[in-house]
A and B are shown apart, each in its own frame.
Chain A
């Protein structure tokens, strides 16, 4: 029912409505991807928006300089983000402890500086314009596909041996190693998978907006929003990120857009409150209360 409704929505929805739905799909893809690394392995990524930006620039450069079709450029955006993840993940995920979290804290600034520096390719601080193309509806379907794929992937991982191993790492990494799990490799795979979704979403968003610049694709606020969505919905679950994305996007759009700093302040407070009071999020609470299956 819901799938059919969403599939036919662009034929009758308003321009604003379609765009809002596209944004919700984007947030589902972003939050779901953050959940893959941080929710499942417990390794916090404080710079996931870097993959969104990397994908946006990869896609935009291929479209504007090499005239790639946008769908191919979007997939290339996923590959580009994955390559960045490999460079950062390989040295940092071999180690236990906070190294990965801090490395991700700086990654975003570094990519932004690099993008501003290589002006010839990226347009530097003045940004990059893409040739005009009216493709909001096809991009709507592509973004919906990305969100669905990330969610399906999460389900497949959580119900697989690979997912169990990731969650073992989260609960007790030493024990996981003792059981013969190659923890470094598992963490790296989860991280690479978590970079693809934001990469594709970034390239699609770039195509949809037609113009990107460093500040528009690397905002710290995007990472914060992803984290809040997942924590609120329930980290380590399949539907938690979806629930968080929908609820928070709607409240953000209708209430909080008018109070940017207060809104961010509230997000900080939500993170603190969720960590202390309901570490498993809304879905985690429901799971316990109504004995829902663990794989929801």
Chain B
């Protein structure tokens, strides 16, 4: 396999990598929030993203709602789903051994995927909107990818603003630093957990809504996102929220870079090898562990 790599190809990789990376960062920030606050890895994070994609699809096909206008609506719907999940199931395993929360969210994930299979069938669905790409100098930029990047960057910035500036955001960060002390300070930790799970699910849903115009929608589209989001967290450092941004960008760039040399099938393997290598060499992630 001798492929001559031109500077133009490298530029294209950087552009596509950054465009994809913002989406990874946004979705992974959701997983990182739940892990940081509750020490729970939500295996159902990817399937919730899938529900977000379907929500956008049905808002588009049934009500004719513009897919980009429906991003906030989809986020709101899935925020409520997330709060509901936390309220009924997940809160019971927050303090249980890790085995319980992993298995519980795994069960939820299987149930969601198969519920989607039953309700929506496994037909591929698509939202056709803004197709094609436009030239930017020597590079081709996909329109849907660019808009997805802008939305993801905006939503992520809002999420960080919320975490940094608002009382509720501060309460979330305080709980993730030290739950008991947060309780002593008068923070309603149960409520923080509810909001966190809702917010995290909304972030996944935003990812699903933006993907709805990019890729085919089907019930099994989500699972890989749980894995990739976790990889992003590991790259950036578990419990380190800004780390998720760096991790997302890195994953986007590495995947796109790998696609220069490898077939699509093998570029999935690259993400995996990356996880194993990072765990071997620097398990605390590139920016180090918990510094919220």
Chain A residues with CB under 8 Å of chain B are 38, 42-44, 46, 87-88, 90-92, 94-95, 97-99, 101-103, 105-107, 109-110, 113-114, 116-117, 170, 220, 224, 227, 231, 261-262, 264-265, 267-272, 275-276, 279
Contact = CB atoms under 8 A, between A and B. Distances in A.
Contacts of B98: 42, 44, 97-98, 101
A279 B263 CA distance: 43
A236 B100 CA distance: 14
Contacts of B238: 97
A91 B146 CA distance: 37
A106 B272 contact: yes
B103 A109 contact: no
Given A88-B276, A98-B41, A269-B111, A117 B102 contact: no
A8 B269 CA distance: 46
Contacts of A227: 103, 106
Interface of B: 35, 41, 43, 89, 92-93, 97-100, 102-104, 106-115, 117-118, 223-224, 226-227, 230, 234, 238, 263, 265-266, 268-269, 271-272, 275-277, 279-280, 283
Nearest to A92: B279
B43 to A, nearest CB: 7
A95 B111 contact: no
A28 B122 CA distance: 31
Contacts of A279: 100
Given A101-B102, A231-B103, A276 B230 contact: no
A183 B112 CA distance: 35
A265 B111 contact: yes
Given A42-B99, A98-B41, A105 B107 contact: no
A220 B227 CA distance: 14
B276 A91 contact: yes
Q: Is the interface of A mostly helix, strand, loop or mixed?
A: helix
B218 to A, nearest CB: 13
Nearest to A276: B92
Contacts of B272: 106-107, 109-110
B97 A102 contact: no
Given A261-B118, A275-B107, A98 B102 contact: yes
Contacts of B43: 46, 105
B99 A268 contact: no
Q: Which of B106, B117, B275 lies at the interface centre, i.e. has the most chain A CB atoms within 10 A of its CB?
A: B106
Closest 8 CB pairs of A and B: A271-B107, A268-B111, A268-B110, A272-B107, A265-B114, A98-B41, A264-B114, A91-B280
A91 B263 contact: no
B115 to A, nearest CB: 6
15 contacts: A42-B99, A44-B102, A88-B276, A91-B279, A92-B276, A95-B279, A105-B43, A117-B263, A117-B265, A170-B97, A265-B111, A272-B89, A275-B93, A275-B100, A276-B89
Contacts of A94: 283
B13 to A, nearest CB: 21
Nearest to B104: A275
A268 B109 contact: yes
A272 B103 CA distance: 7
A87 B277 CA distance: 11
Contacts of B117: 261, 264
Given A102-B41, A265-B115, A113 B234 contact: no
Contact of A109 (B108, B109, B224, B275): B224
Nearest to A265: B114
A88 B277 CA distance: 10
A83 to B, nearest CB: 15
A102 B35 CA distance: 13
Contacts of B280: 90-91
Contact of A261 (B114, B266, B277): B114
A30 to B, nearest CB: 17
Given A105-B227, A275-B104, A44 B99 contact: yes
B42 to A, nearest CB: 10
Given A91-B279, A220-B223, A265-B111, 19 more contacts: A42-B97, A42-B98, A46-B43, A87-B276, A97-B98, A98-B102, A102-B41, A109-B268, A109-B272, A113-B268, A117-B265, A170-B97, A227-B103, A265-B110, A265-B114, A265-B118, A269-B107, A271-B104, A272-B108
Given A109-B268, A264-B114, A272 B104 contact: yes
Contact of B106 (A88, A110, A117, A271): A271
A87 B280 CA distance: 11
Contacts of B114: 261-262, 264-265, 268
Contacts of B35: 98
Contacts of A262: 114, 118
B269 A110 contact: yes
A92 B278 CA distance: 10
Nearest to A87: B276
Nearest to A93: B279
B234 A46 contact: no
Contacts of A43: 99
Contacts of B234: 99
